[in-house]
Chain A
Amino acid sequence: MSATASAALLLDGRIDDDPTLALIPDALADGLAAGGWAVDDWRLRDDRIAWCAGCFKCWTTTPGVCAHADRGREVASRWVRSDLVVAGTVPAGRAGGPEARTFRRLVERNTLNMQPPRWSSGVLESGANEWDVRLAVSALLDEVGVRPARDAVHSAPSEVVA
């Protein structure tokens, strides 16, 4: 994170307009703006972002650039311009997963292209998330998950679980 943080990228992975779920991203955007940050607020569901097809062309053919020519490509470039990246998502409901499909597409499309192969230790070695980040700028990343309702498993008083 740079010493003079000023640009924040908010990746909003909400699927619907539930007003409760809007509270956190809206408050976060407003709070950062009030604090002097330039906020790049991106609601992912408004854009058509294809899922990763597993072609690995972002490694082999155009290193660092996804083969899909859609707005999913923009994440890396907007990430580079940011000092703070906040990824907001809702759980995948009854699909059982921790992240919404809107957010999964973004994660899939921007993991390999940010993470070049690491010959010394082996591409296929443990530590999938120990990114050897391709980007020149390393932004601070925070991920916020919001549950639409409390369930039997999570009895913590807060609705915010991550």
Chain B
Amino acid sequence: MRTPRTALLLVGSPKPGASSSESLGAYLREELETRGLKTLTVKVVKALRSEEATEELCAAVAASDLVVLSFPLYVDSLPAPAIRALEVIAARCAGESGRAGAAPGETPAAAGSPAFVAICQSGFPEVEQSEIAIEICRNFAAAAGFEWAGGLILGAGGMIDGKPLRKLGGMMRSAMRALDLTADELAAGRPLPAEAVRLMAKPAIPAFGYRFMGNWGWRSQIKKQSDGVPVDAQPFA
């Protein structure tokens, strides 16, 4: 892996506003900037809205030494717009720059290829839920000619709720430490350290507490918003 000078943050969340995926990615982007990298953020949903925006996405990828994709887990995989963005990047950007990739599982990218990092967060407390999605990203990196630099998984991502990590303070201490370590290594041209993966996976609060709060939150929202329709309604029955 080469020492990067430029980094691109791809936010894979389909949400139009603030998202937990963006919060995680933004923290890493800021840390990379403090280590001297020039960075850029692109939301994939916006990049897919027009041909012009998609071209800008491709140009940004082609100009980057390091690409970070931060996304939420959607049914054991990446969200559809993130998949679409990866398809575009693999087919056009990589092809145009001569980075012919390998099929998943084949020979990894040559030394000196741009690096690819994935950050996946989900509402589940267990990080195992996101392992397949990270594997999909690793396959993409191999197929599109990137050098796979590793993946981070955060469980119980609902606690972030689109807020900046620094504002959440101690609750996100392990996640921020994981991203600090990640920035250190990536900026030096090295892949993610195992310690960063471990720290990111460390639960911020016990799983039972997270479930209790999650259930309370959903109940509260449904009571306010569903206009009396029961939560187990069968509207198509």
Chain A interface residues toward B at CB < 8 A: 51-57, 59-65, 76-77, 79-80, 92-99, 101, 104-105, 107-108, 111, 116-117, 119, 122-126, 128-129, 134-137, 151-153
The proximity string for B residues 222-237 relative to A, scoring 1 for CB distances below 8 Å and 0 otherwise, is 1001110111111111
CB within 8 Å of A: which of B188-231? 210-212, 214-215, 218-219, 221-222, 225-227, 229-231
Q: Which residues of A contact B101 (CB under 8 A)?
A: 94
Q: Which residues of A contact B210 (CB under 8 A)?
A: 124
Closest to A105 in B: B80
State whether A95 touches B104 (Cβ < 8 A): no
Pairs across A and B, CB under 8 Å, 16 listed: A52-B74, A53-B14, A57-B225, A59-B231, A63-B226, A65-B235, A77-B236, A94-B144, A96-B104, A96-B140, A96-B143, A117-B215, A117-B231, A122-B214, A123-B211, A124-B125
A54 to B11, CA, bound (A): 14
State whether B74 touches A101 (Cβ < 8 A): no
Closest to B85 in A: A95
State whether A135 touches B234 (Cβ < 8 A): yes
Q: Report the minimum CB–CB distance from B61 to chain A (whole Å).
A: 13
Q: Which residues of A contact B231 (CB under 8 A)?
A: 59, 63, 116-117
Given contacts A104-B77, A108-B75, whether A94 and B236 have CB atoms under 8 Å apart is no
B13 within 8 A of A: yes
State whether B233 touches A94 (Cβ < 8 A): no
Closest to B229 in A: A63
Q: Which residues of B contact A152 (CB under 8 A)?
A: 103, 105-106
B126 within 8 A of A: yes
State whether B218 touches A93 (Cβ < 8 A): no
A129 to B124, CA, bound (A): 12
B129 within 8 A of A: yes
State whether B124 touches A126 (Cβ < 8 A): yes
Given contacts A122-B214, A151-B103, whether A134 and B219 have CB atoms under 8 Å apart is no
**Once A and B bind, how many residue pairs between them come within 8 Å at the CB atom?**
174
B72 within 8 A of A: yes
State whether B76 touches A136 (Cβ < 8 A): no
Q: Which residues of B contact A135 (CB under 8 A)?
A: 234, 236-237
State whether B214 touches A123 (Cβ < 8 A): yes
Of A97, A128, A135, most buried by chain B (CB within 10 Å of CB) is A97
State whether A134 touches B83 (Cβ < 8 A): no
A64 to B91, CA, bound (A): 37
Q: Which residues of B contact A108 (CB under 8 A)?
A: 74-75, 79-80
The 5 closest A-B pairs by CB, nearest first: A96-B139, A96-B140, A94-B90, A136-B237, A95-B86
State whether B91 touches A94 (Cβ < 8 A): yes
Q: Report the minimum CB–CB distance from B31 to chain A (whole Å).
A: 26
The proximity string for B residues 86-126 relative to A, scoring 1 for CB distances below 8 Å and 0 otherwise, is 11001100100000010111100000000000000001111
Closest to B235 in A: A64
Q: Report the minimum CB–CB distance from B165 to chain A (whole Å).
A: 19
B164 within 8 A of A: no
Q: Which residues of B contact A61 (CB under 8 A)?
A: 225-227
State whether A97 touches B215 (Cβ < 8 A): no
Closest to B95 in A: A94
CB within 8 Å of A: which of B9-44? 13-16, 19
Q: Which residues of A contact B15 (CB under 8 A)?
A: 53-55
Q: Report the minimum CB–CB distance from B192 to chain A (whole Å).
A: 18
B59 within 8 A of A: no
Closest to B155 in A: A124
Given contacts A59-B231, A123-B215, whether A92 and B87 have CB atoms under 8 Å apart is yes
A61 to B218, CA, bound (A): 11
State whether B236 touches A80 (Cβ < 8 A): yes
Closest to A55 in B: B15
